[in-house]
Amino acid sequence: MKDFFETWKFRILIAVAVFLAGLMAYAAANGRLTAAPQELLSVAVAPFQKVASLVGGGVSSVWEKYTSIDETMEENEALRAENAELRRQLVDYDQLKAENEAFKNLAGIQEDNPEMSFVSAFVIGRDALDAFGGFTLDKGTAHGVERGDTVIDDEGQLLGTVIEADLTSCRVLTILHPSFNAAGVVSRTRDNGILTGDAAYAAKGQCVFTDLSRESMASVGDEIITTGLGGVYPPDILVGRIVSIEPEASGTSVIAVIQPDADVLGVKQAFIITDY
């Protein structure tokens, strides 16, 4: 073992470690999460993730059908081929059905917001290491997606923002993340505040609306929407409803706990606003 530390292999490992540390420093200095090697890996893995999420999520009934077909396959070889073909068609059908429904919803959103451009995307990955529900979508820079684009669900409700866009996939920072910040307003009272995430509420799928004036007349059940201030998020995007109002630690303002209208932790399909 002692000899190993004097070999060229050990020097290569040290060089790789230095390279990785350099990548990390470069990425951190430029506010990025990925670098060229990972982008290559992401391009390779995205199609597999797409198929797996489709099979695992939208067409879970296929497995049951598959096992029952297995028994039939043993009895009749001819039916086996036919059934396999039917299963493949069923997967295609489910995918088309899901896309069709998504586009119907998109048509509705587009009607309400004719100035916006959307890209439809499926959630292909969620890693449990992210405590705030961050996920990966199957659309990337090749589809016109850029960092900072707003992500909404199929009913036009805010999910988050793109924090990293690779060639064929992108990573979304959800509204549950404490790093997420968007200007919002209480729809009924027009009180302004900052929409952000809070670790105390993220596990329940809730976020918070901070800097709300103590004199605000906002109450439980009021809807929060984006203001569009700052130009990062489009205006009038639905966020969620107030479920409770709590005093802020300093006492100068209050915090409203928001139950997002979108299912941030379980969403399977999303739209990325690429232009507005």
Please give the residue ranges that form the binding site for another protein (CB under 8 A).
1, 4, 9-10, 12-13, 16-17, 20-24, 27-28, 32-35, 37-38, 41-42, 44-45, 48-49, 52-53, 56-57, 123-131, 134-136, 163-164, 171, 173, 178, 198-200, 203, 266, 268
Residue 13 CB, shortest distance to another protein, in Å, is 5
- Owner of token pair 């659309």: 139
- Closest CB to another protein among residues 10, 93: 10
Residue 272 CB, shortest distance to another protein, in Å, is 16
- Closest CB to another protein among residues 150, 174: 174
Residue 101 CB, shortest distance to another protein, in Å, is 18
Residue 103 CB, shortest distance to another protein, in Å, is 21
- Closest CB to another protein among residues 18, 84: 18
- Closest CB to another protein among residues 9, 190: 9
Spatial contact of 161 and 264, defined as CB atoms under 8 Å apart: no
